Structure 1
C-alpha cells in the first residue's frame, strides 16, 4: 500500500488571502520536489527554482516594503503547513523568512542592507544567515567566529568557513557573521556567486533533513562593499522570536504529518487475522489520541506565545516562545516515534513517510534553544513574577 506523503495543510489562520495563496504555492512546490531532493541529498535546481517562484520570500517582508506583512502568528501557521509537506525544503524557506521578519521588526541593520534584503525578497532570491562554524558550533551560547572580516578600502574582505548552511546551493545571498578587528562581530551580506565563495558537500549521508543541502560554505578574501555591512550591535529579541517560531512551527508540522500518515494507514490497513482495519483496535486508538493531544497542545502554546509577541514584541515575551519551541520539537519527536511503534514494520519502508518523518523530527532538538534553556527560561520568568 502506497500512501501520499503530504497531508492536507492545516488552516492558515492569521494570514491575508494573498499570503494564504502564496503559502499554498510554496506547499505545492515543497511537496513536488521533496522526494527528488531527499534522493539527491541536496536542494535540486528545480526545487530551488520552484521555491523562488512560489513568492514565499515576500511573506514576512512588511507591506510598505513590497511584502505580505505576515505577523509572527501568521508566520507560524504558514511554516507549520510547509513543515507538514517536508521539513528539509520548509527550512530553506524558513531561513529566509525568519531573517527578513526579524530584520525589519528590529531595524538594527543599516538602511542599504535592509533595502537589499527587501529587493531580494521581492525578486524571490533566497537568503540565509550563516553563523555556525566547525569550531564554534552554534553561536547561541556565545563565542567569537573564526571567520574574519578585514577592512579593505571602502569595504571588507571576508575569509572563513560556515557550516550547517541550510539550502547552501540554492542560496542567492548569505548574511555572514564575522569577527572584525577589535574582537567585535559584524554581519555582511555576501552574494553566493561572488568570487571566492565556495560550497563544500559536507551534508552527504545526513541522518535527517537530507534534502536540505546544509553544506559548508567557504569564503576566501571575498570583497563586500561597506553599504552591505552591519556594524557591531547588541542582539535584538526579534531575532530569537522569529527564529524560534520558524523552527517550532516547521517541526510541529512534521509531527502533524506523522499523525495524518498514521491515521490514514490505520483506516486502510486490514490484516487478514483481524478482518477489520487497524483503526478498530483500542491500542491504536489510544496511541492516535495521545499523539493528537500532544501536538494540539504544542500548537496551542505556540499560537498563544506568538500572539503575545505580536501584541507586545518585547524581551518579556521571549520565555513563552522559548518554551513553545522546546515543547513543539519534543512533541514532534514523540509523535513520530509513537507513530512508528504503532504502524509496526510497515513504518520502516518508504511506502509510508513515517521513517523519514522520524528522522527529520529529531533534527528539531539540535536547534536553539535547547530543552533545558527553553523550559528554564519560562520557569524563571514565572518564578520572578511572584
Structure 2
C-alpha cells in the first residue's frame, strides 16, 4: 500500500529518526488493547521510547540531543500515532516541553542544564501540569486554584491537576500554581518522589484512554524557592510551534484508519458481490475523499512547520497560522476516520476491529487547545482589523 507519510521524508537523517518512530509505533500497537482497557500508559512502550533516546531528541546537540526540528518532530509524532495515538500525544508533551525550554530559554541556565543532563543521560520524562477542575483548559485564562505559599526560603504547594498525561510514569512534573507572595502564576519543577504527591486514578474517558491522564494531587508539598523555575509570560514567545504535535498526532490516527479501511475494502467480499468491496463505486468514492483530505492536511501541516524552521525571525507573526493548522487538521482527521468507519460499516463498531478506537481517539483532538471557537474568533478579528 502507498505510504502517505514516507513521501514527506526528505533526507537520510529524517529517515533514521523516522525509523526510531517506526519501532516505537510497532511496540505501542502491541499494547493498545490493554492500555485502552486499563486506561493507562504501557511501561513496555515507555521502555522502547527510552531505548530509542526519544525523550532527548529535542535537546540541543551540546546538551546531548539531536537539535530536532519542528518538521522532524511532527513527522515522528505522526508515525507513532499510527501505532497508538495515545502514546504519541503523551510523549509529544514531553518532547514539546523540551523543545520549548531549549528554544525560548525560559529557565535559569543552571536549572535547565541539570534537567537536560538527566533527560540526555537517563532519558527522564517530564510534562507540564496546568489543567484544573475549576479552571478548565489553561488557554482560556483561568487562574490556577493550586496555591504556592511562601514559608521562609520554601514554598508550600497544594492543589489538584487534571488531564495529567502519563502522570504515573513521569520523572518530573512542571506544575502551575498561583504564587501568593508574587501575585503571579508560576511554574514549579517537582520530583515525582517528593512527599505530599499522589495520583488519583480518575481517568475514565471515551477516547485517548491510553494516555493515563489521571489526577495529580499535591498536599502541602514542600519545595525550595529555587524550584520556582518560571513566571507565566516572562520571556515566552506567544507562538508555540511545538503545539503542532497535537494535530500531527490526530493526523496519524486518521492515516492508520485510512490504511485499515483500504485493507478491509480490498479483502472483504460479501456473497452478494463477485468482487471485494474495493471495486464498488461508493467505496472508491469514500477512499478518494479520504485521500484528498489527507493530502490537504499534510500539505498544510508540513508547509507551516517548514516555515517555522526556516524563518525563525517571523515566528512571532505565525501564531494565527499555527492555530488554523490545528483547527483544519484535527477536523480533517475526524472526517477521514468517519469515512473509514462508513467503509467498514457495522463491523467498524466492533471491539474486535480497530476502527471504533480510532473513532473514539480522534475526537479528543477537538478538545485539545486551541479550541475551534477560539481559533475562528481570532481569525475573524484579525481579518476585520
TM-score when normalising by structure 2:
0.92
Structure 1 runs of 4+ off > 6 angstroms? none
Structure 2 CA distance for aligned equivalents of residues 361 and 178 of structure 1: 30
Structure 2 CA distance for aligned equivalents of residues 367 and 19 of structure 1: 26
Q: Does residue 208 of structure 1 match 2:204?
A: no
Structure 2 CA distance for aligned equivalents of residues 303 and 20 of structure 1: 15
Displacement of 1:100 after TM fit?
A: 0.6
Structure 2 CA distance for aligned equivalents of residues 16 and 80 of structure 1: 13
Greater mean deviation of Cα atoms: 272-281 or 304-313:
304-313
Q: Does residue 95 of structure 1 match 2:93?
A: yes
SS at match of 1:79: helix
Displacement of 1:118 after TM fit?
A: 1.2
SS at match of 2:306: helix
Displacement of 1:103 after TM fit?
A: 1.1
SS at match of 1:251: helix
Structure 1 CA distance for aligned equivalents of residues 178 and 18 of structure 2: 40
The residue that corresponds to 1:19 in the other structure is: 17
The residue that corresponds to 1:151 in the other structure is: 150
Structure 1 CA distance for aligned equivalents of residues 71 and 383 of structure 2: 23
Displacement of 1:381 after TM fit?
A: 4.7
SS at match of 2:75: helix
The residue that corresponds to 2:334 in the other structure is: 333
The residue that corresponds to 1:141 in the other structure is: 140
Root mean square deviation of aligned Cα: 2.0
Q: Does residue 298 of structure 1 match 2:301?
A: no
The residue that corresponds to 1:108 in the other structure is: 106
The residue that corresponds to 1:372 in the other structure is: 373
The residue that corresponds to 1:316 in the other structure is: 317
Structure 2 CA distance for aligned equivalents of residues 21 and 279 of structure 1: 31
Unaligned runs of 5+ in 2: none
SS at match of 1:161: strand
Q: Is the 8 A contact 2:265 2:278 kept in 1?
A: yes
The residue that corresponds to 1:129 in the other structure is: 128
The residue that corresponds to 2:233 in the other structure is: 234
SS at match of 1:190: strand
The residue that corresponds to 2:268 in the other structure is: 269
Displacement of 1:61 after TM fit?
A: 1.4
Structure 2 CA distance for aligned equivalents of residues 69 and 250 of structure 1: 21
TM-score when normalising by structure 1:
0.91
Displacement of 1:226 after TM fit?
A: 3.1
Unaligned runs of 5+ in 1: 1-6
Q: Is the 8 A contact 1:267 1:277 kept in 2?
A: yes
Q: 1:238 to 1:78 in 2, by over 3 A?
A: farther
Displacement of 1:378 after TM fit?
A: 4.5
SS at match of 1:263: helix
Q: 1:263 to 1:315 in 2, by over 3 A?
A: same
Q: Is the 8 A contact 2:239 2:319 kept in 1?
A: no
Displacement of 1:52 after TM fit?
A: 2.8
Displacement of 1:9 after TM fit?
A: 8.2
Q: 1:203 to 1:45 in 2, by over 3 A?
A: same
Q: Is the 8 A contact 1:326 1:374 kept in 2?
A: yes
SS at match of 2:369: coil
The residue that corresponds to 2:55 in the other structure is: 57
Q: Is the 8 A contact 1:83 1:254 kept in 2?
A: yes
Q: 1:34 to 1:318 in 2, by over 3 A?
A: same
Q: Does residue 48 of structure 1 match 2:46?
A: yes
The residue that corresponds to 1:199 in the other structure is: 199
The residue that corresponds to 2:165 in the other structure is: 166
- Superposed CA deviations along residues 12-57 of structure 1, whole A, max 9, x for unmatched, are 6365455334323322332232222112211133333333333210
